[in-house]
């Protein structure tokens, strides 16, 4: 066998071994759900994130020193790899793996079409193979339909009250159908054979035809002390899109044919970017590749320049974007303005912390890029000057291109402070109340944002508030919440400096009121619903729950969709 073929086969074997390990670990989610081992599932999720870099690192290490082929030889390896992987049901993932190895071997700057796969976005199949899903007859009541769906999915544990749940779910479906503009019945229902697991929930994901169009059909299930229960039925595209949000952790789902599954999901979430769908299934590296291809397509499709995306200048990150593009780019500044005391290494550690933990729909997923190259003339002159002045240690300027040694990309959202200034009163009120819920849900996930300023939160297209500024983020359990000591005398009361000792991790919740910058006309509304955020008791209660080992319930859908709304 020629050397190129042998090397291509070695890389492909490493990919196949990685995929087997990925699916084996993913497959354990079902038993975690059965045993209600929520901490085990969290640890499993973190361990799964390590599989890809480990696999790439191991195969890359075999090319060190004299064993590293030159670029022309690697082009032959690439040609052999195409032939070897062409019959794979996950060929798009195989090529992304090859690119990861290639970039590590050659420390590639920019993109090298000779050694990497640089074709456009993954082409989805026009039809979905019948083996992917169950087809459910629609011949009786909606209660009968729900019972039929559950009968096809063995979740490994008994239901608490099956008949109660299917009746309640059927009623919710009937009510939803009655509220649609086109009052039509369900014509067909399909559910994917693979069950989706994440955190404390599992999801039977399907679709139904109403009036000739595909609509989402998702059963959300929980497993409590009494057994498995149907917690919600999701039939609205926005609700399901939020379930698969870029601000959530990745699902654990058995996937032999990712393109087929993504095609199914795209049929019920047509606005969801391809990158988001792959990422939500745990293939974040391929999601990152799809995101980059969408960026290249956007740049090729117009002459727009990169411009500053910051409404308020950040002290740690320089943020820029492209008109009409849904991502922003964040580069760590060389120096941080006072009073920031964080270091570059600490900033990266905090972004890594966000990547590895449960984001509960409130932390924007950040993709990390290295050696990203753009033409110099695609930058607005003022932005270019700022980048070179503020981020010189990260950016290389050769006169024609800028190469970013390191940057993050995040979904573009509307900064909350700007949203509140421009929105009508009722949307502003909803956003401000969701801001309070976002802080509480982050705390329930053992996350303390550090900086509660409105400008560090954003509003998504679904109207949900998310947090995106991580340089002061930490674990809630690492904080020390204290009441402000009373002033000893008038001098203390008038002093601009604290008259008491303040430790590095000390937090004084009653001070939050002073710097949140809440609109005057909405302060009382916020206090009514979220005044407990200004008390030490709220924060210490959650810390005690975390120390006791509780995994707090945080539901990824609105309370109005739940059959029995309770909990956080």
Q: What angle do CA 142, 147, 151 make, to 5 degrees?
A: 145
Element (H, E) at 228: strand 227-234
Q: What is the per-residue burial (b if ≥16 Cβ within 10 Å, else e) of 336-355?
A: beeeeeeebeebbebbeebb
CA gap 87, 464 in Å, rounded: 41
- The DSSP secondary structure of 360-379, one letter per residue, reads TTTB---EEE-SEEEEGGGB
Q: What does the CA dihedral 63, 65, 68, 71 come to, rounded to 10 degrees?
A: 140
CA gap 348, 370 in Å, rounded: 13
Please give the C-alpha separations between residue 271 and each of 241, 242, 256, 370, in angstroms, as whole numbers: 9, 12, 24, 28
Please give the C-alpha separations between residue 145 and each of 25, 187, 288, in angstroms, as whole numbers: 32, 12, 38
CA gap 400, 375 in Å, rounded: 6
**Structure tokens, 103:** 């970039």
Residues 542 and 551 sit within 8 Å (Cβ to Cβ): no
> What is the length of the chain?
568
From the candidates 276, 358, 365, 471, give the one annotated as an active-site residue. 365
Q: What angle do CA 460, 473, 22 make, to 5 degrees?
A: 75
Residues 8 and 84 sit within 8 Å (Cβ to Cβ): yes
The count of C-alpha atoms lying within 13 angstroms of the C-alpha of 196, restricted to the half-sphere facing its C-beta, is: 20
**Structure tokens, 467:** 């947090």
What is the phi/psi pair of residue 147, to 5°?
Answer: -60, -40
* Residue of 458, 110, 89 lying closest to 292 (CA atoms): 110
Residues 177 and 191 sit within 8 Å (Cβ to Cβ): no
| Burial class of residue 182, CB neighbours in 10 A (0-12, 13-18, 19+) | exposed
CA gap 109, 150 in Å, rounded: 51
The count of C-alpha atoms lying within 13 angstroms of the C-alpha of 485, restricted to the half-sphere facing its C-beta, is: 10
CA gap 63, 106 in Å, rounded: 10
Residue 252 CA, distance from chain mean position: 14
- 365 noted as active-site residue: yes
* Residue of 321, 318, 338 lying closest to 392 (CA atoms): 318
- Give the SS3 label for residue 279: helix
- Give the SS3 label for residue 393: coil
End-to-end distance of the chain based on CA atoms, in angstroms? 61
CA 414, 416, 419, 425 torsion-angle sign: positive
- Point out the residues that are catalytic: 365
């Amino acid at each position: 066998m020629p050397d190129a073929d042998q090397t291509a086969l070695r890389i492909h074997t490493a990919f196949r071994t990685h995929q087997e390990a990925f699916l084996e670990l993913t497959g354990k989610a079902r038993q975690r759900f059965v045993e209600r081992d929520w901490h085990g599932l969290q640890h499993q999720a973190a361990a799964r994130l390590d599989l890809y870099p480990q696999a790439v690192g191991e195969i890359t290490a075999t090319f060190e020193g004299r064993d590293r082929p030159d670029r022309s030889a690697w082009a032959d390896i690439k040609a052999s790899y195409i032939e070897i992987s062409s019959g794979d049901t996950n060929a798009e993932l195989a090529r992304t793996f090859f690119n990861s190895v290639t970039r590590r071997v050659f420390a590639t700057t920019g993109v090298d079409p000779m050694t990497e796969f640089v074709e456009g976005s993954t082409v989805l199949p026009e039809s979905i193979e019948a083996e992917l899903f169950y087809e459910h007859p629609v011949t009786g009541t909606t209660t009968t339909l729900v019972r039929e769906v559950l009968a096809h999915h063995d979740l490994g544990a008994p239901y608490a009250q099956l008949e109660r749940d299917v009746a309640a779910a059927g009623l919710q479906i009937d009510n939803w159908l009655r509220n649609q503009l086109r009052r039509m019945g369900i014509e067909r229902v399909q559910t994917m054979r693979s069950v989706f697991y994440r955190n404390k929930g599992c999801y039977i994901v399907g679709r139904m035809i109403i009036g000739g169009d595909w609509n989402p059909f998702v059963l959300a299930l929980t497993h409590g002390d009494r057994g498995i229960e149907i917690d919600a039925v999701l039939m609205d595209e926005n609700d399901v899109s939020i379930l698969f949000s870029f601000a959530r952790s990745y699902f654990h789902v058995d996937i032999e044919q990712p393109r087929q599954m993504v095609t199914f999901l795209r049929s019920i979430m047509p606005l969801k970017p391809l990158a988001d769908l792959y990422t939500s299934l745990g293939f974040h590296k391929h999601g990152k590749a799809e995101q980059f291809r969408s960026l290249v397509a956007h740049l090729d499709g117009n002459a727009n320049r990169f411009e500053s995306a910051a409404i308020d200048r950040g002290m740690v990150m320089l943020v820029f974007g492209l008109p009409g593009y849904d991502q922003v780019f964040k580069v760590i500044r060389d120096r941080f303005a006072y009073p920031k005391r964080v270091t570059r290494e600490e900033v990266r550690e905090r972004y890594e912390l966000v990547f590895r933990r449960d984001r509960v729909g409130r932390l924007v997923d950040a993709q990390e890029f290295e050696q990203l190259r753009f033409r110099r003339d695609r930058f607005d002159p003022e932005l270019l000057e700022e980048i070179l002045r503020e981020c010189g240690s990260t950016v290389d300027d050769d006169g024609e291109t800028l190469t970013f040694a390191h940057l993050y990309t995040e979904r573009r959202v509307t900064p909350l402070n700007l949203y509140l200034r421009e929105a009508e009163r009722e949307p502003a009120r909803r956003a401000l109340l969701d801001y309070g819920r976002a802080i509480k849900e982050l705390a329930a996930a053992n996350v303390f944002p550090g900086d509660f300023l409105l400008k560090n939160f954003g509003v998504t297209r679904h109207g949900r508030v998310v947090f995106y500024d991580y340089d002061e983020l930490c674990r809630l359990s690492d904080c020390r919440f204290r009441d402000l000591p009373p002033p000893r005398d008038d001098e203390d009361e008038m002093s601009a400096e604290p008259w008491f000792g303040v430790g590095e991790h000390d937090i004084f919740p009653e001070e939050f009121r002073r710097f949140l910058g809440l609109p005057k006309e909405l302060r009382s509304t916020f206090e009514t619903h979220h005044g407990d955020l200004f008390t030490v008791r709220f924060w210490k209660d959650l810390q005690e729950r975390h120390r006791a080992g509780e995994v707090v319930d945080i539901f990824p859908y609105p309370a109005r969709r739940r059959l029995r709304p309770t909990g956080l």
